[in-house]
Amino acid sequence: MLYYLFIWLHEAFDFPGAGVFQYISFRAALALITSLFISMIIGKRLIGYLRRKQVGETIRDLGLEGQTAKQGTPTMGGLIILAAILVPTLLLAKLHNIYIFLILVSTVWLGTIGFMDDYIKVFRKDKKGLAGKFKIMGQIGLGLIVGTTMFFSKDIVIREKTTRQAFVPSSEIFNVEGNSDRAKMYTNIPTKSTKTTIPFLKNNEFDYSVLISWIGKNYKNWTFLIFIPIIIFIIIAVSNGANLTDGLDGLATGSSAIIGLTLGILAYVSGNIIFANYLNIMYIPNTGELAIYISAFVGACIGFLWYNSYPAQVFMGDTGSLALGGIIAVFAILIRKEIMIPIFCGIFLIENLSVVMQVGYFKYTKRRFGAGRRIFLMSPLHHHFQVKGYHESKIVIRFFIIGIMLAVLTIVTLKLR
């Protein structure tokens, strides 16, 4: 909203300084600062309110050190994160941008599902919360919205490079191979596509339509049959991965901030034609605006971490964890980087896999040997290290270090092919 106000002031009255709102970098920085401010101010007040209302977390006794001290810690702190994301985005982003619209819908959608789960746990005193099938149905619904919009909307396109040989003056050569005046001239043509990015490959694009090329001549018209289910699967997997990671003070929050910063860089270069051409990556018009949203996202996570770090003064609950994972999934899908999720979301992935492996192996050994066996001392993986005697803070910091290494590796893939 402020964006439209200041652009109008700039164009109508040449208001001093108003023109700076044209720049994504300025609005992204302002969104980061604003989200930090909101999360810090709202956080303190909300924590006090939750304590007065005795909206505390019910901790299931797993026999872990320090668990009893967390009993009664205020929960539903994800409301802080949601407010700190939504307010700066609504103020500073171009709201008519289709990508901003989709990510805002995703935020509210998943935040609502998580809030319903927490509400049932806290106020209805039902430890199970919202039934798992309803959570999955909600995630499938969001996947249908995102997948259908991306496939059918005329506003969501990429620009593909086509080459033609031509003799041109060296001053006009956009991309010269060698020292010859014969250059590859790149024409950016907007087109509907289901292409995505594959890391570590030189021509790092993969088209989902290839998966159904066996259908026949017009197979691309039916790509949505495979594209939308893949989108749904990614949203469910990453959202639940973040939810499982939220088991130690600050772990999910800090990991999400690191992932968000990585996605912000990817969104900015993918939405900037100069950087996209220089890095030889897919150029996606209008996705640069997502840098404003993700800046607010990072600011919200860091601001919340102020209260959520060990020992936590508040927990995000499913209101925050389901939303954070889903936002990361949808954001990666929008900038065509979802195949890179196993890299920059490596923490979420290993937490998810540790649970799947533990449950699967236990059931298999119980069926075969009559007694269930375990791979880890406890799952998710962070609890395994707790049982081994590592302090909670040490586990979280080491997970952060791994997350930063994975983030750097993700950025490196832009050139390492």
CA dist 94 and 92 (Å) reads 7
104: pLDDT strictly greater than 80: yes
Same structural domain, 183 and 200: no
* pLDDT (tens digit per residue) in 267-293: 999 988 888 888 888 889 889 899 999
Whether residue 302 contacts residue 161, with contact meaning beta carbons closer than 8 Å, is answered with no
Could you give the dihedral angle defined by the CA atoms of residues 373, 378, 384 and 389, in that order, rounded to the nearest 10 degrees? Answer: -100
Same domain (yes/no): 256, 329: yes
Percent of the chain scoring above 90 in pLDDT: 55
Query: 3-state DSSP: the chain helix, strand, coil percent, rounded to 5?
Result: 65, 5, 25
Q: Does one domain contain both 139 and 174?
A: no
Same domain assignment for residues 265 and 289: yes
Angle at 127 between CA 123 and CA 79, to 5 degrees: 55
Residues 165, 213 within the same domain: no
pLDDT digits (tens, 9 = 90+) for 358-375: 999 999 999 988 888 999
Q: Is residue 108 a part of any domain in this protein?
A: yes
Residue 245 sits in the same domain as residue 261: yes
DSSP state string for 325-360? HHHHHHHHHHTT-GGGHHHHTHHHHHHHHHHHHHHH
Flag whether pLDDT at 206 surpasses 70. Answer: yes
Q: State which of 316, 342, 368 marks the end of a domain.
A: 342
Tell me, yes or no, whether 109 and 223 share the same domain.
yes
Highest mean pLDDT among 29-33, 198-202, 277-281, 371-375: 29-33
Looking at the fold, whether 170 and 184 belong to one and the same domain comes out as: yes
For residue 188, pLDDT over 70 is answered with no
Q: Same domain for 187 and 307?
A: no
Is 416 inside a domain boundary?
no
Q: Is the model's pLDDT at 149 over the cut of 90?
A: yes
18-32, 130-144, 149-163: the lowest-pLDDT one: 149-163
Phi-psi region of 275 (alpha: psi -120 to 50; beta: other; left: phi over 0): alpha
User: Within 10 A of 37 (CB to CB), how many other CB atoms are there?
Assistant: 15
Of 8-22, 64-78, 251-265, 284-298, give the lowest mean pLDDT range: 64-78
Do 175 and 283 sit in the same domain of this protein?
A: no
pLDDT in tens, 168-187: 344 333 333 333 333 343 44
> Which tokens in the block code for residue 263?
């996605």
Can you tell me the mean pLDDT for 107-122? 92
- 206 and 329 fall within a common domain: yes
Q: Which residue has better confidence, 253 or 73?
A: 253
The predicted pLDDT at position 21 comes to 84
What is the domain extent for residue 170? 158-191
Among 327, 342, 357, the domain boundary falls at 342
DSSP 212: G
Query: What pLDDT shows up at residue 59?
Result: 60
Of 314, 342, 370, the domain-final residue: 342
Report residue 290 as tokens: 């997502």
Mean pLDDT of the chain: 86
Q: How confident is the model at residue 218 (pLDDT cuts 50, 70, 90)?
A: confident
91 is a domain residue: yes
pLDDT band at 352 (very low <50, low <70, confident <90, very high): very high
Amino acid at 169: P
Mean pLDDT over 31-39 rounds to 94
Res. 64 pLDDT band, cuts 50 70 90: low
Question: Residue 181: its pLDDT value, please?
Answer: 37
Classify residue 359: in a domain, yes or no. Answer: no
pLDDT at 196: 92
Instruction: Take residue 314 and report the two structure tokens written for it.
Output: 């508040």
What confidence category does residue 200 fall into, taking pLDDT thresholds of 50, 70 and 90?
confident
Q: Is 15 a domain residue?
A: no
Q: What percentage of the chain carries pLDDT values higher than 70? A: 89
Q: Measure the N-to-C terminal CA separation of the chain; round to a whole number of Å.
A: 41
CA 379 to CA 307: how far, in whole Å?
A: 25
Q: Do 205 and 77 fall into the same domain?
A: yes
pLDDT-derived band of residue 337, with 50, 70 and 90 as boundaries?
Answer: very high
Domain contains 199: yes
Is residue 378, in this structure, part of any structural domain at all?
no
5 located within any domain: no
pLDDT band at 132 (very low <50, low <70, confident <90, very high): confident
How many domains is the chain built from? 2
